Amino acid sequence: MTSANEQWVTRGERVLMQTYGRLPVTMVRGAGCKLYDAEGREYLDFVAGIAVCNLGHCHPQVTAAVREQVEKLVHVSNLYHTQPQIELAELLVANSFADRVFFCNSGAEANEAAIKLARKASPEGKYEIISLTGSFHGRTLATVAATGQTKFHQGFEPLPSGFVHAPFGEIEALRDLIGPATCAVLCEPLQGEGGVRPLAPAYLRAIRELCDQHGLLLIFDEVQVGMGRTGTLLAHEQLGVTPDIMTLAKGLGNGLPIGAMLAGERVAAAFTPGSHASTFGGNPVVCAAALATLQVLLAPGFLAGVAAKGEYLATRLGELARQYPQRAVEVRGMGLIQGLVLSESARDQGLAMVRRLFEQGLLLNFAGNTALRFIPPLVVSEGEIDRAVAMVAAVLRE
Ligand SMILES: *Cc1c(COP(=O)(O)O)cnc(C)c1O
């Protein structure tokens, strides 16, 4: 007799394109930091939809907002205004450097919009964008071209032109890439997919200075690290560097598909009616979800709690690294995005460790082929962190 999980997995494998290395499980329900599969088995979720379900699964305030909105209005064209979209944009503008917002449906689309805006807002002949090696910006052709990892390029050439990559951390090399066609620098304040690699504040400041000297726009991709993940609403608030354009997506709607591209007035003015559009972008239901999400994140004390739990997680992971120096060499991250960097010799065990932890009921993933990535819902408790750390310790010990 095959289990309910196996039956669903078999059906899925038959009809879905094989684009994901999925674990053999079918999830049916979620609550807070817990997920439940087709057989009622419980998992402690330290993936959170890849930094998406920041308030945990099925947060009551988000669920209520969605329920209320689907009964009122699900969709109208962007030929008309809707209340949730305006309220969400107002709240994003009030809590960021930006003056205006464009809504879309995903991180890749937000970055596409940022790339288009950077080109449109730049003088004739300036179109080239410099991004960093190890970066991840999405899976559309332009965002794949911007992504600084060749494994995402292979088989899809020719890629759109106008993208070059500067070696991570090397400011001189970035300066050397700036030419007459350069219009912008695009980077993540912390590379998530690249293996939880923060950019040093001094490096980011130097990038900002180069942009100012050469009249380039600075674009921050905060798709993964924005929305409270690092202990401030936006990661760059802690780094003392302000971008000209910023993108958000993953955590924005706590699981509903929404992306946003934000900019200051001067840059945003380059977009005029007809410049860019999205049929579903800023849909009332996803905006209602994002509005409720943002309200919870901005409630007094919430983000300070994220910062405190992030420090706790980093401390506990630091103990692990000291305990198992042959397996783990470093802990790095900001707030509740932390990476336990595996030693060179343990890296080929990364996926096997993820599999082992899954079998024991902990969901975690292996980022950039270097680090076990801890991105729990921001509502995680210290007790849940302790449980996860204990399970990882057991697997490192094996
Ligand atoms: C996930 C991610 C993207 C792409 O987002 P999608 O919603 O999958 O298109 C872009 N940039 C960063 C930094 C990401 O982590």
**Nearest atom, ligand 1, residue 224 CA:** 15
CA distances from 339 to 63, 78, 221, 270, 336 (A): 30, 40, 19, 38, 10
How many whole angstroms from 181 Cα to the centroid of ligand 1?
A: 26
For the cut 70, the answer to whether the pLDDT of residue 186 exceeds it is: yes
| pLDDT of the residue at 2 | 79
How many whole angstroms from 334 Cα to the centroid of ligand 1?
A: 18
Average pLDDT on 49-63 reads 98
Burial of 347 (0-12, 13-18, 19+ CB in 10 A): middle
Q: Which helix (H) or strand (E) holds 224?
A: none
| pLDDT of the residue at 115 | 98
The answer to whether the CB of 253 is under 6 A from ligand 1 is no
Q: Is the dihedral of CA 200, 204, 207, 209 positive or negative?
A: negative
Task: Clarify whether 348 is annotated catalytic.
Answer: no
| pLDDT of the residue at 91 | 98
The answer to whether the CB of 193 is under 6 A from ligand 1 is yes
Each residue's pLDDT tens digit, 331-381: 999 999 999 999 999 999 999 999 999 999 999 999 999 999 999 999 999
For the cut 70, the answer to whether the pLDDT of residue 1 exceeds it is: no
**Which candidate in 136, 220, 366, 374 is catalytic?**
136
**Which candidate in 37, 103, 152, 250 is catalytic?**
250
The answer to whether the CB of 84 is under 6 A from ligand 1 is no
- Arch. (CATH architecture) of 73-297: 3-Layer(aba) Sandwich (3.40)
Task: Clarify whether 46 is annotated catalytic.
Answer: no
Closest residue to atom 8 of ligand 1, CA basis: 107
| Mean of pLDDT over the chain | 97
Contacts of 380 (CB under 8 A, 6+ apart): 33, 46, 56, 309, 336
For the cut 80, the answer to whether the pLDDT of residue 73 exceeds it is: yes
- Reported as a pLDDT band with limits 50, 70 and 90, residue 171 is very high
Residue 329's φ and ψ, nearest 5 degrees, are -115, -20
Per DSSP, the three-state class of 34 is: strand
Each residue's pLDDT tens digit, 97-120: 999 999 999 999 999 999 999 999
Per DSSP, the three-state class of 397 is: helix
Q: Is the dihedral of CA 100, 102, 107, 111 positive or negative?
A: negative
pTM attached to this predicted model: 0.98
Task: Clarify whether 99 is annotated catalytic.
Answer: no
User: How far is the C-alpha of 149 from the C-alpha of 147, rounded, in Å?
Assistant: 6
Q: Which residue from 105, 147, 193, 196 has its CB within 8 A of the most atoms of ligand 1, so it is best to mutate?
A: 193
Burial of 23 (0-12, 13-18, 19+ CB in 10 A): middle
**Nearest atom, ligand 1, residue 138 CA:** 4
Q: Over pLDDT 90: what percentage of the chain?
A: 99
Average pLDDT on 124-132 reads 98
The answer to whether the CB of 152 is under 6 A from ligand 1 is no
Which CATH number applies to 4-58+300-397: 3.40.50.300, 3.40.50.2300, 3.40.50.970, 3.90.1150.10? Answer: 3.90.1150.10
**Nearest atom, ligand 1, residue 51 CA:** 15
- The domain locations on the chain are 4-58+300-397, 73-297
End-to-end CA distance of the chain: 32
Residue-wise burial string across 137-166, b where 16 or more C-beta atoms lie within 10 A, e elsewhere = bbebebbbbbbbbeebeeeeeeeeebbbbb
**Nearest atom, ligand 1, residue 108 CA:** 9
